[in-house]
Amino acid sequence: MCRLFGLHAGPRPVRATFWLLDAPDSLSDQSRREPDGAGIGTFDAAGKAHVAKQPLAAWEDHAFAREARDLKSTTFLAHVRYASTGAHTLLNTHPFEQDGRLFAHNGAFGDIERLEQRLVGLGVADLVHGQTDSERLFALITAETRRAGGDVGEGITRAVTWIARELPVLSLNLIVTTATDLWALRYPATHELYVLERNPAGVPGPAAPLEARSRRIHARSEELAMSPHVLIATVPMDHNPDWRPIAAGEMVRVGPDLTVMSSFPFPEAPAHPLTLTDLDPAAAESQRQ
């Protein structure tokens, strides 16, 4: 299962260090499938998106993901890929960039050919350069956002609602970021996604830096020791009791001032739900990791 991580640090850029793959797996974990790609997206002071990513087609490629990356941004988006569709190539590695926004996805859905026809009809087929269902989902969100006058939340709602109605769906968990906003969606209940509103200034005792760590992604920021921020992650990344699961069908938006808003604009369940047994063995394995 792909790993998603989003961080909104507020209106001012902060420095953070990221490791896209943490320490090598222990002996007990060596039976697990190795990831197929990793990447991280940020925004510079002018609001321009930057992405560093690489497919992990061979063990030697993992050096890219294990090195520490010192980055500065208002929002950060990291992704570790376990491929369900598409080869181990740069074009298939998340995050993706379109219209100055960044996107990463965890899940799978079917009938890609029908979605491609939809993208052709909307005039955005040229946005897709790789083979993944994820990039095509992003292209549909981009098309609907354009049709909604730049309203990203409405674009996500229209795109996901169409896919939920028209295509077989296992999971559409996703994060979209700009320099000022972050959107996260859990749909349907297949895979979990968590949110944490962290305000260390209100915690008794000495200030502690952000230290968010999972089996794959690791983020650290001294500058966030006293500043509020919001985290989105596939799994809780520390022992903070305030992590909460995003509900199935919930879309979370984090605004420039770190206000967190939730909505439930989607059908309760996809019209054509998929299960792991409906996927080919490789795709099913990618959703179990």
| Res 286: pLDDT | 56
pLDDT tens profile 114-124 = 999 999 999 99
| Res 121: pLDDT | 98
CATH number for 85: 3.60.20.10
In this prediction, residues 99-110 reach a mean pLDDT of 95
Q: How many domains does the chain have?
A: 1
Average pLDDT, the chain: 90
Q: Which domain holds residue 32?
A: 3-288
| Residue 28 banded pLDDT, cuts 50, 70, 90 | very low
- Provide the whole-model pTM: 0.93
| Res 161: pLDDT | 98
* Residue 203 scores a pLDDT above 70: no
Q: What is the C-alpha separation between 44 and 23, in angstroms, rounded?
A: 28
| Residue 204 banded pLDDT, cuts 50, 70, 90 | low
In this prediction, residues 71-78 reach a mean pLDDT of 98
| Res 289: pLDDT | 54
| Residue 25 banded pLDDT, cuts 50, 70, 90 | very low
Among 172-186, 200-214, 240-254, the minimum mean pLDDT is found in: 200-214
